[in-house]
């Protein structure tokens, strides 16, 4: 989903119940997630995970400022969403087919959202699958 604003574009990504919206505009290469600079994200493996599309894009990523707002879900689901939203934004703004191909070869989930969602609750049970145990006698 792409929304046009004042010389900026908004890209949305989802994973489970987490949603991330990336706002991209021309700038100097700053990236922030939930009003925090990317360099301050802890633990380090999550920071590196989110940085992957920026590293793969190289010089293209240094031309744009990206602000990501993630909500819902858990911390790792938000990281997956943020990573995907950043990758989608870079591909659409740069209009570079080689970058899109590079992202797809590295990890398809950079450009495609994970379609899995929570299964709905069914009658006669506590959850989607769990049912009351039947008695034999």
CA R_g for the chain: 19
Tell me the pLDDT of the chain (137 aa) as tens digits: 666 556 788 999 999 889 999 999 998 889 999 999 999 998 999 999 999 999 999 899 999 999 999 999 999 999 999 999 999 999 999 988 999 999 999 999 999 998 888 889 998 888 999 888 888 88
Give the separation between CA 122 and CA 89, rounded to whole angstroms: 38
Q: Which residues, in sequence order, are CB contacts of 46 under 8 Å at separation 6+? A: 75, 76, 79
Query: Hey, what CATH class is 2-110 in?
Result: alpha beta
Give the separation between CA 48 and CA 34, rounded to whole angstroms: 17
DSSP string, 72-99: SS-HHHHHHHHHHHHHHHHHHHHT-HHH
pLDDT of residue 90: 93
Question: Domain coordinates of the chain in residue numbers?
Answer: 2-110
pLDDT of residue 124: 85
Q: ∠ CA 95-18-109 to the nearest 5 degrees?
A: 40
Across the chain, which distance is largest between two alpha carbons, in Å? 73
């Amino acid at each position: 989903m792409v929304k046009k604003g004042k010389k900026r574009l908004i890209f949305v990504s989802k994973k489970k119940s987490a949603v991330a919206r990336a706002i991209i505009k021309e700038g100097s290469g700053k990236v922030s997630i939930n009003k925090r600079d990317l360099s301050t994200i802890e633990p380090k493996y999550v920071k590196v995970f989110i940085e992957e599309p920026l590293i793969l894009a190289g010089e293209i990523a240094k031309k744009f400022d990206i602000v990501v707002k993630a909500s819902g879900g858990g911390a790792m689901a938000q990281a997956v969403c943020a990573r995907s939203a950043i990758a989608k934004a870079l591909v659409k703004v740069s209009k570079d087919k080689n970058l899109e191909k590079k992202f797809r070869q590295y990890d398809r989930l950079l450009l495609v959202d994970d379609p899995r969602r929570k299964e709905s609750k069914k009658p006669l049970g506590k959850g989607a699958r769990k049912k009351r145990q039947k008695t034999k006698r």
